Amino acid sequence: MKIELEKDFFIVGIDEAGRGPLAGPVCVGAVGYVQRGRSDVAGQTPLLEGIKDSKKLSARKREEWFKILQENKEFECHHVFVSNEMIDKFGIRKAVIFGVEKVLEKFSRKPDMVLMDGSLFAPEKYKQETIIKGDEKVPLISAGSIIAKVSRDRVMMNMHKKYPEYCFNEHKGYGTKKHFEKIIKHGFCEIHRKTFCGNVVSLA
């Protein structure tokens, strides 16, 4: 996507982590960057050279990029968690869209453009573009995916301390065979998404 403006152009890239797990929150991550000059490709900057979608990076690499994004003053980073209770009440689609709206409210200025991955969209007041596989194609969306993934993984590691019997430190709440076995053995805990676990109950 080309931009043809002579002013500084504040762009935000957004992605989510945790749409599919059986437990824990979904996290919406967003990174803002002021892009300068005419005919720049939106969402790209040399500062993000080599960045990848969080799913294609090791945990160590994600942590390295997370630190870079947080410490570099060229970037403004935010994230929002939407709880498992909200997901059960409103459904994952509405929960994620709510997270997008709330994370955009955290920025110091209104974005001139919001770039989002997959099926995400922002409130109508924002100029926006949703890009299929945007987390692979647009570095700023990749950055948002890293903020979301690292932030959510840290929460799930803390949840492991509270509920060690479920091994959240290993699967982060996703529907692995081991997680299924733990639910069948121990039942649900407070952070399980009951609306996601019907197939697990049927195995009990």
Q: Give me the residue spans of the domains in the chain.
A: 9-154
pLDDT more than 90, % of the chain: 84
Instruction: Out of 145-154, 171-180, 193-202, pick the least confident.
Output: 193-202
CB 26 within 8 A of CB 97: no
Task: Please name the residues in contact with 140: beta carbons below 8 A apart, sequence gap of 6 or more.
Answer: 11, 12, 13, 31, 33, 42, 43, 44, 45, 48, 115
- What the block records as the tokens of 162 is 């509270």
* Listed residue (106, 111, 86) closest to 97, CA to CA: 86
pLDDT at 204: 44
- CATH class of the 9-154 domain in this structure: alpha beta
Q: How confident is the model at residue 176 (pLDDT cuts 50, 70, 90)?
A: very high
pLDDT at 199: 72
Give 3-state DSSP helix, strand, coil % of the chain, rounded to 5.
45, 20, 35
Average pLDDT, the chain: 92
How much is the pTM? 0.92
Helix (H, G, I), strand (E, B), or coil: what is residue 10? Answer: strand
Rounded CA gap, 17 and 99, in Å?
11
Calculate mean pLDDT across residues 46-66: 94
Which region holds residue 39: left if phi is over 0, alpha if psi is between -120 and 50, else beta? left
| Cα separation of the two ends of the chain | 50
Tell me how far apart the alpha carbons of residues 55 and 73 are, in angstroms, rounded to a whole number.
Answer: 25
* CB-CB contact of 100 with 122 (8 Å): yes
Nearest to residue 146, comparing CAs of 130, 154, 24?
A: 154
* pLDDT of amino acid 185: 93
Is the pLDDT at 6 greater than 70? The verdict is no
Q: How confident is the model at residue 19 (pLDDT cuts 50, 70, 90)?
A: very high
- To which H or E segment does residue 4 belong? none
**Residue type for position 102:** K
Confidence of residue 82 (pLDDT cuts 50, 70, 90): very high
* DSSP state at residue 160: H
For residues 131 and 60, what is the distance between their CA atoms, to the nearest angstrom? 27
- 10 phi, psi to nearest 5 deg: -90, 115
Residue-level pLDDT at 1: 52
pLDDT for 203 equals 47
Quote the CA–CA distance of 7 and 1 in Å, as a whole number: 17
pLDDT at 198: 79
